[in-house]
Amino acid sequence: MNESGRYASFNTNDFLAKVISLPDVEKVELQAMLDWLAGYGADEQGGVTRLLYDRAWCDAQQALAVKMQEKGLTAEFDQSGNLFGTLQADPDSSAASAHDLPIVTGSHIDSVVHGGKYDGAYGVVAGILALEYLKQQFGAPRRTLQVVSLCEEEGSRFPFAYWGSRSITGAAHLQDVRELQDAGGVRFEDAMTQAGFGPGSHYRAAERKIGAFIELHIEQGQVLERLGHSIGIVSAIVGQKRFSVTVSGEANHAGTTPMIWRRDALAGAADMISAVRRIALQAGQPLVATVGQIIPDPGVGNVVAGRAVFSLDIRHIQQESIEQCWKQMLEAFTTIAEEHQLELDWEEHLSVAPIAMNAGIIQDIQEICIQEQLSSHTMASGAGHDSQIFQPACPTAMVFVPSSSGISHNPLEFTTEEDLMRGFRVLVRLLYKYGYGS
């Protein structure tokens, strides 16, 4: 199936003619269900800590399975612990085809440590309620709709992210992760088995075919809020490269070493960090480059640092822009290292290509926003999401709602109920179109 083929199947030209009304959609208790879900893993800081296969995670997934059943969906786990809620297509529908793969919405159930209650959870809760609403209003769809509560996205417990979507799409398998250990030395596979999943469980294998994936998510940035838009339509998820850069000089006594003889690794690193910002600003949006961590060694106030290691994170929606920016930074680092008589070393430890979202679905979302009179903004996602894992396997799109002050991965993460409901309406219309459209 080529890209244009996929596009065709998600662009119903007569869409605008089929405007449905959404009776009582405002009565859907999305906020209440989000608050309920946040009780699983509620931490002492007012946030949510729900890590893959831990107690809070198990309780939340099991409670969601019950909730799906209550909402009229068929709930089913897979061996990875992904939870699917299915609204089966009407087998008698003239449009239904055994070859139609299900349209899937959802997001991830896991959180970062001391995270907020919207990241991931919003897409899961909205998906369940959207399917319940559609079933109540329109009965069985012509094409099967599913909501998925993905087991893992954050990489907060084990050093591996997107386990849920990667295991579904076949981008990762148990052998890739089984020996990983969490901070407490627990093996990945043991944690999985302890939670009741894995190949020894009675659940089906995680890998499956999907017709399309649609993810509703909070923006986790300030763009929508600052620009005054309600809906973000994600054009692409940025690619990123992450490096750790090591600058080596000579540790010396801060009192006895004249300035001119110093090979101060921290002073050199500081010049490099300033260069990162300068080059990123020159490159212009949407390029972002960040140094978030630096560790000087020995890291004592009265010793000239002999070594400094800093992180570097570069993101853009075009791979060549990332490469170009890194090249410029490396040239600047090399010059600075020479000036300071320092040695420079670096290690690339992450390289993710930018992923464009499906153009057909993007166009449908744009049309829905016009129809719903919602102010929308087509934008890149600067954060990684499960959608970047799904897109290579099936047509995929993301819808953002504003994050208050852009705060995320924090107990203060917040989106107004009005904005949550606007995103929900977009999701309902989109699922209606693909599930019930001709």
Contact residues toward a copy of itself (CB under 8 A) are 219-223, 226, 238, 240, 242, 244, 252-261, 264, 266-267, 269-274, 276-277, 280-281, 285-294, 296, 298-305, 311-313, 315, 381-384, 406, 408-409
Q: With CA atoms as reference, report the closest residue to 130 among 169, 89, 85.
A: 85
Least gap, CB of 326 to a copy of itself (angstroms): 15
User: Which residue lies nearer to a copy of itself by CB, 167 or 403?
Assistant: 403
Residues 6+ away with beta carbon under 8 Å from 429: 20, 22, 368, 371, 372
Q: What's the CA gap between 154 and 43, in Å, rounded?
A: 17
Q: Which residue has the tokens 């649609």?
A: 214
Residues 6+ away with beta carbon under 8 Å from 247: 265, 268, 269, 272, 307, 308, 309, 310, 337, 342, 343, 344
Q: Are the beta carbons of 287 and 321 closer than 8 angstroms?
A: yes
Least gap, CB of 22 to a copy of itself (angstroms): 30
Least gap, CB of 106 to a copy of itself (angstroms): 21
User: Which residue lies nearer to a copy of itself by CB, 191 or 280?
Assistant: 280
405 DSSP 8-state letter: G
Least gap, CB of 193 to a copy of itself (angstroms): 30
SS3 253: strand
Q: With CA atoms as reference, report the closest residue to 372 among 20, 134, 123, 130.
A: 20
User: Which residue lies nearer to a copy of itself by CB, 128 or 305?
Assistant: 305
Cα→Cα distances 392→2, 164, 206, 213, 364, Å: 11, 15, 17, 11, 19
User: Which residue lies nearer to a copy of itself by CB, 290 or 371?
Assistant: 290
Cα→Cα distances 30→72, 345, 429, Å: 16, 50, 16
Least gap, CB of 101 to a copy of itself (angstroms): 30
Least gap, CB of 58 to a copy of itself (angstroms): 27
Least gap, CB of 433 to a copy of itself (angstroms): 28
76: burial class by Cβ within 10 Å (0-12, 13-18, 19+)? middle
User: Which residue lies nearer to a copy of itself by CB, 228 or 255?
Assistant: 255
Least gap, CB of 157 to a copy of itself (angstroms): 16
Least gap, CB of 16 to a copy of itself (angstroms): 32
Token code pair at residue 189: 């596979």
User: Which residue lies nearer to a copy of itself by CB, 45 or 285?
Assistant: 285
User: Which residue lies nearer to a copy of itself by CB, 212 or 312?
Assistant: 312
Q: What's the CA gap between 378 and 286, in Å, rounded?
A: 13
Q: What's the CA gap between 105 and 84, in Å, rounded?
A: 10
16: burial class by Cβ within 10 Å (0-12, 13-18, 19+)? exposed
Sign of the Cα pseudo-torsion (39, 40, 43, 45, in order): negative
Least gap, CB of 266 to a copy of itself (angstroms): 6
User: Which residue lies nearer to a copy of itself by CB, 268 or 360?
Assistant: 268
Provide the CA 121 distance to its chain's centre, in angstroms.
Answer: 11
Q: With CA atoms as reference, report the closest residue to 356 among 220, 241, 235.
A: 235
User: Which residue lies nearer to a copy of itself by CB, 3 or 347?
Assistant: 347
User: Which residue lies nearer to a copy of itself by CB, 165 or 220?
Assistant: 220
Q: What's the CA gap between 67 and 33, in Å, rounded?
A: 10
